[in-house]
Chains A and B, each alone.
Chain A
Amino acid sequence: MLRRQSDLLLGIILTLVLLGLAAFGFFPPIVVGILALPFILLVPGNALISAIFPESSLSKLERFLFAIGLSLAVVILSGLALNISPWGLQTNSWLIILSVITLVASVIAIWRREKIPAKESTPERFYLPARQVLLLGLALLVIGFSLKLTLTPRSPDNSQGYTSLWILPGPATQPDSILVGIHSQEFETTHYSLQVIYNGQPKQKWPDISLEPGTQWQQNISMPVGQGLVEAVLFRLDSPGIVYRRVSTTLNK
């Protein structure tokens, strides 16, 4: 009996393990990550297809394919059901609805299978010679290496770096201030000068701000009370006469 129902029993055990982990609020990320994928993408469909076709009337390939297809369908339809439920699509509601479907379908499948006398079948042993294992292993290594290559972010050759400059009203605790920021996405350390202008008059100047690639500089700047236009103008020290970036905001206090 155990061998005949092994796929369903495995699905039930997987479901119960996940439910148990949830009940104790214990979700070790790697374990859950590994268990969740078959729990969503294979187990519900396998339980359903076994409940619908308890006999071995489908080939293993067909059963596998329908199990995946039905699992996807079950998740989509369950999502719709959860959407109209008061709980919505949350971790626990997903866990409960998929567990209920899996367990109910598994019980029906086990019951229906048990009613059918077991047929004598030809046990088929999958045989893979060592040479083939080695070749497949090598293929997987090459594929893994290929993925690793593309997962390494590009060097910036043939791309162009940049700097962003921004201006915002100051925080609520300092309503008479503005916030100016510089974020360097240049490909080398860059030196800047920044000038803040209020109603056309220079208000403050930073003659040399040096930023490494990916680093940020920001400053709260106090401003006079009243209406006015504040501008922040950024220059690169290697091209001091050319405005590199420019932002502005209006004060209305």
Chain B
Amino acid sequence: MTKAQGIEETRASVKSTALSTHRTPTLGRLPEVALCSSFGLLLVALAFSNAVVRTAWADLFYWLGLLLIILPIAFRLFSVAVSRRERIGLVVFLGLSLYLIKVMHSPFMFTFSDELLHFRNAVNILQAKVLFGENSILPVSAYYPGLETVTTAIADLSGLNLFTSGLVVIGVARLVIILSLYLLFEQVSHSSRVAGLAVLLYMANSNFLYWSAQFSYESLSLPLGLLVLYALAKQGSLKDKQMRRGVTLVMLLLITAIIITHHVTSYGLVIFLIVLSIVYSFFPAFNGIKQPNIWGLALTTGVLILIWLVLVAYPTTGYLYQIFKHAFASVLEMFTGGQTGRALFTSATGTVAPLWERLVGISSVLLIMLGILSGLYALWKSKRLNPFTIVLAGAAILYFLTLGLRFTGAGWEVANRASEFLFVGIAFLIAFGFVTLRLRYPKNRFLSFVFAGYVAILIVGGVISGWPPALRLSQPLVVAVNGTNLESQGLEASNWMLTNQGPDNRIIAPPSDALLLLAYGKQQALTGKIYSIQDLLTNQHTLDWQTKILQTVQARFLVMDRRQISWDGMLGPYFSTPATSPTTGAEFFTPDIFTMFDGRAQIPRIFDSGNIVIYDVGGLSGVTQTK
């Protein structure tokens, strides 16, 4: 294995000195594979489109399409005789194809809950021409305006609308993450084969398909973070001092941009730098090779983060503290018996995933664990340990710890979000293990099928465990009737509010309506458990108690939504399916809850679209002016 990899490295590092012009077809089988994979995209598009959506065929088309996109590329990447250029082309094509699935999922406007939060921030910047506008649902997001700054710059200068500009920015970020990962893995492993497979395997993380492709700050910061890691790895291999200084300057610019863009990515980066600094410090004791000193960079990053935190983003600590506190408290409660664990493969509404999905989901976790252990063994045996591979292996091992968090309600989110960071190490280790196997048995065709099957289970398992089943397929926010576009009730209510009451009114609503009101209605919407809003909207109380809450919130308007699903910010915004009776169906609130604000002269019912009703509660809260 070592010999074969050595040959590959030698080939890769040979620099031609010939002055003649090369004339080589450099794309290999990429065009054939791309054509094959493009039919996978077509199948997914069909699953999202009129003919198939909401039929029994939709799921089948979706999964077949996904596999048709991925498997030809997996087969080709696993092959021994593929050029570096072709490998890069293959992973870029795959990364962008998977991004197109997200674009096709919501082709008219942003619909995911985080996207709506950031869309509002971008609207604020475009209108006010300054950063740090108010975001009533997630105030912290406004203190990290990197994504919105780039998006509004494009919208301002190109004339494109915010939605298209946002899609362009995330598309570019997707390109950056693919290329950064490829170059990072190649730099660390000295193998284009390991790099290609590792990038492919990274795409199996449960957040890659949808979460990391949404218009959200992490979708931009993580690619920039990985570019910093690549620059760091590159710097370690440079002999020239001036070059090393140049790379440091590049890293500092990127790190500053990351700090302005996303809190968790910047914290993750500084932790990585500190751990790598420690490993760099101790590594010479084992092998005698002097390692770079990056304590200065780690310290500078830490100081810059602190400066941003103190001067601009001070509410961040409280926000993140709450998330981690709940996660760890629920784990603790689970172990002490105070809380039953979260039921795996069961949605918030209690729907249990089909048996095959549960099997694939569990198999994918087991295969990841097996892959990590095999990769660790291969890495150890190959004697190719270096500080970078040690830290990446450490990140992969952390995956085992996060599995425990998945059994709790609050911890699941932390574990799920961590996967896109930890998968950098996981993908590297698994790829290293598979390349070791491939090079040991280079002519064994069966191995290619094993690898393709492995990747298929990981990617399908990732989608199953990382995204709500009801949202895998595109949902209708806009439908067309005889050439006229009709919008869902939440959008209609948002547009009505903006047109008739103006922007920036304080309005309390269930999450899905609040998010639409915030983003498209330009209101200062409030939702969730804060100020007992959930209690106010879903339980009957005395008028005094209701008045007290409304006065505390200073709400001018209140939204009641008959649908239980309106309390799910991701699933609520879309057109409803033909209903069972609103008075008896389990998916609706009972009429006594839905109509509890009716019949009071001081609470005019000013808008009614069937499921959504808007009340003017200014008479109770004392807020009588619309903005």
Which A positions have Cβ atoms within 8 angstroms of B? 18, 27, 29, 32-33, 36-37, 39-41, 48-49, 52-53, 57, 61-62, 64-66, 68-70, 72-80, 83, 88-91, 94-95, 98, 120, 122-129, 131-133, 135-136, 138-140, 142-143, 145-147, 149-168, 183, 185, 187-188, 212-214, 229, 244-250
Q: With A and B bound together, what is the CA distance between A106 and B24 in angstroms?
A: 33
Q: With A and B bound together, what is the CA distance between A83 and B129 in angstroms?
A: 8
Report the minimal beta-carbon distance from B104 to chain A, rounded to whole angstroms.
4
Q: Which of B22, B41, B131 contacts A83 (CB 8 A)?
A: B131
Please give, as numbers and ranges, the residues of chain A lying within 8 Å of B231 by CB-CB distance. Answer: 66
Please give, as numbers and ranges, the residues of chain B lying within 8 Å of A214 by CB-CB distance. Answer: 481, 484-486
Q: Is the CB of B608 within 8 A of A33?
A: no
Q: With A and B bound together, what is the CA distance between A214 and B27 in angstroms?
A: 50
Q: Is the CB of B32 within 8 A of A128?
A: no
Stretch at the interface among B175-183, B355-363, B378-386, B428-436: B175-183
Q: Is the CB of B104 within 8 A of A147?
A: yes
Report the minimal beta-carbon distance from A4 to chain B, rounded to whole angstroms.
17
Please give, as numbers and ranges, the residues of chain B lying within 8 Å of A77 by CB-CB distance. Answer: 253, 256-257, 260
A245 and B608 in contact (CB under 8 A), knowing A150-B104, A159-B575?
Answer: yes
Stretch at the interface among B110-118, B157-165, B511-519: B157-165
The residue in chain B whose Cβ has the minimal distance to the Cβ of A142 is B38
Q: Is the CB of B604 within 8 A of A249?
A: yes
The residue in chain B whose Cβ has the minimal distance to the Cβ of A141 is B38
Q: Is the CB of A95 within 8 A of B575?
A: no
Please give, as numbers and ranges, the residues of chain A lying within 8 Å of B257 by CB-CB distance. Answer: 72-73, 76-77
Report the minimal beta-carbon distance from B105 to chain A, rounded to whole angstroms.
8
A163 and B100 in contact (CB under 8 A), knowing A65-B179, A94-B153?
Answer: no
The tally of residues in B whose CB lies under 8 Å from a CB in A reads: 114
Please give, as numbers and ranges, the residues of chain A lying within 8 Å of B128 by CB-CB distance. Answer: 88
The residue in chain A whose Cβ has the minimal distance to the Cβ of B223 is A69
Please, could you name 21 A-B residue pairs with CB atoms under 8 Å apart, sorted by A? A36-B157, A37-B158, A61-B183, A72-B150, A72-B172, A75-B149, A83-B132, A88-B129, A88-B130, A91-B157, A122-B19, A138-B38, A146-B42, A155-B480, A157-B50, A164-B607, A164-B610, A212-B484, A247-B604, A247-B608, A249-B616
Q: With A and B bound together, what is the CA distance between A107 and B577 in angstroms?
A: 61
Q: Is the CB of B41 within 8 A of A164?
A: no
Q: Which of B35, B157, B246, B616 contacts A32 (CB 8 A)?
A: B157
Q: Which of A57, A68, A124, A127 contacts B172 (CB 8 A)?
A: A68
Residue among B176, B261, B609 with max Cβ neighbours from chain A (10 Å): B609
Stretch at the interface among B284-292, B391-399, B471-479: B471-479
| CB of B507 closer than 8 Å to a CB of A | no
Q: Is the CB of A61 within 8 A of B479?
A: no
Report the minimal beta-carbon distance from B332 to chain A, rounded to whole angstroms.
39
Report the minimal beta-carbon distance from A167 to chain B, rounded to whole angstroms.
6
| CB of B235 closer than 8 Å to a CB of A | no
A120 and B25 in contact (CB under 8 A), knowing A65-B183, A138-B35?
Answer: no
Please give, as numbers and ranges, the residues of chain A lying within 8 Å of B526 by CB-CB distance. Answer: none
| CB of B107 closer than 8 Å to a CB of A | yes
| CB of B39 closer than 8 Å to a CB of A | yes
Please give, as numbers and ranges, the residues of chain A lying within 8 Å of B352 by CB-CB distance. Answer: none
Q: Which of A57, A69, A153, A157 contacts B108 (CB 8 A)?
A: A153
Nearest 4 Cβ contacts at the A-B interface: A79-B149, A88-B129, A135-B31, A36-B158
Q: Which of A128, A161, A212, A250 contacts B604 (CB 8 A)?
A: A250
Q: With A and B bound together, what is the CA distance between A48 and B253 in angstroms?
A: 11
Q: Is the CB of B481 within 8 A of A247?
A: no
Q: With A and B bound together, what is the CA distance between A110 and B169 in angstroms?
A: 29
Q: Is the CB of B27 within 8 A of A185?
A: no
Please give, as numbers and ranges, the residues of chain B lying within 8 Å of A160 by CB-CB distance. Answer: 575-579
Please give, as numbers and ranges, the residues of chain A lying within 8 Å of B246 by CB-CB distance. Answer: 52-53
**A-contact bits for B581-624, CB 8 A (1 contact / 0 none):** 00000000000000000000110111111110000100000000
A139 and B608 in contact (CB under 8 A), knowing A32-B159, A160-B576?
Answer: no
Report the minimal beta-carbon distance from B190 to chain A, rounded to whole angstroms.
15
Q: With A and B bound together, what is the CA distance between A27 and B246 in angstroms?
A: 37
Q: Is the CB of A165 within 8 A of B153?
A: no
Q: Is the CB of A168 within 8 A of B500?
A: yes
A-B contact count (CB 8 A): 316
Q: Is the CB of A73 within 8 A of B168?
A: no
Report the minimal beta-carbon distance from B596 to chain A, rounded to whole angstroms.
15
Q: Is the CB of A76 within 8 A of B157?
A: no
Q: Is the CB of A125 within 8 A of B22?
A: yes
Residue among B44, B100, B157 with max Cβ neighbours from chain A (10 Å): B157
The residue in chain B whose Cβ has the minimal distance to the Cβ of A138 is B35
Q: Which of B156, B168, B605, B609 contacts A89 (CB 8 A)?
A: B156
The residue in chain A whose Cβ has the minimal distance to the Cβ of B500 is A168
Q: Is the CB of A37 within 8 A of B492?
A: no
| CB of B48 closer than 8 Å to a CB of A | yes
Please give, as numbers and ranges, the residues of chain B lying within 8 Å of A33 by CB-CB distance. Answer: 158-160
Q: With A and B bound together, what is the CA distance between A129 and B32 in angstroms?
A: 13
Q: With A and B bound together, what is the CA distance between A168 and B501 in angstroms?
A: 10
Q: With A and B bound together, what is the CA distance between A248 and B604 in angstroms?
A: 5
Q: With A and B bound together, what is the CA distance between A138 and B160 in angstroms?
A: 28
Please give, as numbers and ranges, the residues of chain B lying within 8 Å of A129 by CB-CB distance. Answer: 25
Q: Is the CB of B176 within 8 A of A79?
A: no
Residues 347-403 (chain B) with a chain A CB within 8 angstroms: none
A142 and B476 in contact (CB under 8 A), knowing A75-B149, A122-B18, A123-B21?
Answer: no
Q: Is the CB of B131 within 8 A of A79?
A: yes
Please give, as numbers and ranges, the residues of chain B lying within 8 Å of A66 by CB-CB distance. Answer: 227, 231, 250
Q: Is the CB of B49 within 8 A of A149?
A: yes
Known: A65-B179, A161-B486, A247-B604. 4 other contacts (CB 8 A): A37-B168, A91-B156, A150-B105, A155-B480
A143 and B100 in contact (CB under 8 A), knowing A68-B176, A156-B481?
Answer: yes
Report the minimal beta-carbon distance from B626 to chain A, rounded to whole angstroms.
11
| CB of B189 closer than 8 Å to a CB of A | no
Q: With A and B bound together, what is the CA distance between A236 and B54 in angstroms?
A: 28
| CB of B293 closer than 8 Å to a CB of A | no
Q: Which of A68, A80, A159 contacts B479 (CB 8 A)?
A: A159
Q: With A and B bound together, what is the CA distance between A61 and B34 in angstroms?
A: 21
Residue among A68, A120, A123 with max Cβ neighbours from chain B (10 Å): A68
Q: Which of B34, B37, B100, B129 contacts A147 (CB 8 A)?
A: B100
Q: With A and B bound together, what is the CA distance between A244 and B608 in angstroms?
A: 9
Please give, as numbers and ranges, the residues of chain A lying within 8 Å of B153 by CB-CB distance. Answer: 40, 75, 78-79, 89, 94, 98
Q: With A and B bound together, what is the CA distance between A150 and B179 in angstroms?
A: 28
The residue in chain B whose Cβ has the minimal distance to the Cβ of A124 is B22
Please give, as numbers and ranges, the residues of chain A lying within 8 Å of B607 by CB-CB distance. Answer: 164-166, 247
Q: With A and B bound together, what is the CA distance between A145 and B224 in angstroms?
A: 32
Residues 98-146 (chain B) with a chain A CB within 8 angstroms: 100, 103-105, 107-108, 125, 128-132, 145-146
The residue in chain B whose Cβ has the minimal distance to the Cβ of A29 is B159
Q: With A and B bound together, what is the CA distance between A165 and B608 in angstroms?
A: 5
Q: With A and B bound together, what is the CA distance between A213 and B54 in angstroms?
A: 22
The residue in chain B whose Cβ has the minimal distance to the Cβ of A156 is B479
A128 and B250 in contact (CB under 8 A), knowing A37-B154, A83-B130, A213-B486?
Answer: no
Q: Is the CB of B23 within 8 A of A39?
A: no
The residue in chain A whose Cβ has the minimal distance to the Cβ of B43 is A146
Please give, as numbers and ranges, the residues of chain A lying within 8 Å of B45 by CB-CB distance. Answer: 145-147, 149-150
Please give, as numbers and ranges, the residues of chain A lying within 8 Å of B180 by CB-CB distance. Answer: 65, 69
Residues 484-506 (chain B) with a chain A CB within 8 angstroms: 484-487, 489, 492-493, 496, 500
| CB of B450 closer than 8 Å to a CB of A | no
Report the minimal beta-carbon distance from A196 to chain B, rounded to whole angstroms.
14
Please give, as numbers and ranges, the residues of chain B lying within 8 Å of A247 by CB-CB distance. Answer: 604-608
Q: Is the CB of A68 within 8 A of B175?
A: yes
